A and B are shown apart, each in its own frame.
Chain A
Amino acid sequence: MSNLFNIDIVNPEQSFLSKDNVFEVVIPAVEGEIGILKDHIPIISFLKPGIIRVFSESEEQNFYVEDGIVEFKDNTLSVLTSSIFDLKNADKNFVSESISSAEAELSKDNIDDQKRFLLNHKVEVLKSISIN
């Protein structure tokens, strides 16, 4: 019995990644990271800024996402996101720009706790990317 399932990552412009040989995917869901294996029960959740790790037989891929929705059903994991990039070809300028814009946002007074939490988290993740 194989323990592989499908993953589809789509953004509004195109299909970003489509694979049928992954055995584990770790997604940064809002309430904490979720590791998904084959035959996970159907789940819908949405993402916070973080890193999606896709483990397939041959390789491991890492993607940074800012937000999005995930749906797992019938052994297909669909990730809908409008902002995603592969960590391998991360653009340094873009990362540092995102950090500074998030920090600028943080310094405003009128943001609620949840937003502050998400922004802090985003800065953290982005900084960890820029160090590597």
Chain B
Amino acid sequence: MPSLDDLRKRITSVKSTQKITKAMKMVAAAKLRKAQENAEKGRPYSEKMNNVILNLSKSITDKENAPKLLVGTGEEKVHLCIVLTADRGLCGGFNTNIIKKAKSYFEKIISENKTLKIITVGSKGYDQLKRQYKSYIVENISFKESKNINYFDADKVGKIIIEKFEKNEFDVCAIFYNKFKNVITQIPQEQQIVPLNEDKDDKDDSNNDNDYEFEPDEDEILSNLLPKNISTQIFKAMLENSASEQGSRMTAMDNATRNAGELVDRLTIEYNRSRQAAITKELIEIISGAESL
């Protein structure tokens, strides 16, 4: 049985924790709105980029000589995985979910005897992965200093990927991030960016009559466009990720605040009961003392 003093201390400490989680929730909510706005603003660019590439790749008939970034190196031996996580914790299952998704992919690669290379973006991902996969991590990038997500940062990551590709350091490249569905749901995503996965293009075969004029020719445009597309995809993932992070943190902190409230209620009842018990005990002592006189 904890003493009254202990209980009082517990209550104060839980209350101050609650204050912190409440404040963090508010901050996350404000940041979320901005991140969401940014994610929405960034969508047209990546969508248009995808469209252009789709139209271009349709018009390429000579698949053999197509740029390797589009069709791949023809092998699938070395996999490069880009794991995008947050730089901060206290955001519920946000980082863990990405890592979980990535780990199951890693296991698959390793069990198939393929070579695995990992680039982590964001310090939390590195912290969680370095224990188990230290030897596979080739690079660890963090943008702690930049306040906002900007294209410049994404471009840096994109350039690293291109550079590695040109040196033939990998065959397949996949990125892992959380897709923002709504405030409470974020879906961990695995997306292959090299070679480009054409999964949706069968739908609109009807409008194949867009005979585009290309200036200069298709190949040259594609080889210029594909590196840009990688940066764009990374940027999109970063935007989705930051919205997800804030959403996830908001829900986590909301839960924490509610739990702290429940805990305070329970502790207060316990405190009042034991206070009452002490008073009753004292009264009984006084009365029985008076009676024995």
Query: Which residues of chain A come closer than 8 Å to B214, judged between CB atoms?
Result: 43-45
A8 partner residues in chain B, CB cutoff 8 A: 44, 48
B182: Cβ under 8 A from any A Cβ: no
Q: Which of A29, A30, A43, A80 is within 8 Å of B49, CB to CB?
A: A80
Asked if A6 is at the interface (CB within 8 A of a chain B CB), the reply is no
User: Of A12, A14, A42, which one neighbours B211 at CB under 8 angstroms?
Assistant: A42
Task: Tell me, yes or no, whether A96 is within 8 Å of chain B by CB.
Answer: no
Contact status B150-A13, CB under 8 Å: yes
B212 touches A13 (CB 8 A): no
Q: Is the CB of B210 within 8 A of A42?
A: yes
Determine if B38 and A13 form an interchain contact, defined as CB atoms under 8 angstroms apart: yes
Residue from A31, A42, A69, A82 in contact with B216 in the complex, judged by beta carbons closer than 8 Å: A31
Q: Are B210 and A12 in contact (CB under 8 A)?
A: no
Task: Determine the residue in chain B with the shortest Cβ distance to A14.
Answer: B41
Can you list 10 A-B contacts (CB < 8 A)? A10-B45, A15-B44, A29-B215, A41-B213, A43-B212, A44-B52, A44-B221, A45-B214, A45-B221, A46-B224
A interface residues with partner B (beta carbon < 8 Å): 8, 10-15, 29-31, 34, 41-46, 69, 71, 73, 78, 80, 82
Sample of 19 further A-B pairs with CB below 8 A, known A15-B44, A41-B211, A44-B221: A8-B44, A12-B151, A13-B38, A13-B150, A13-B151, A15-B41, A42-B212, A43-B213, A43-B214, A43-B215, A44-B52, A45-B215, A45-B221, A46-B221, A69-B221, A73-B212, A80-B49, A80-B52, A82-B151
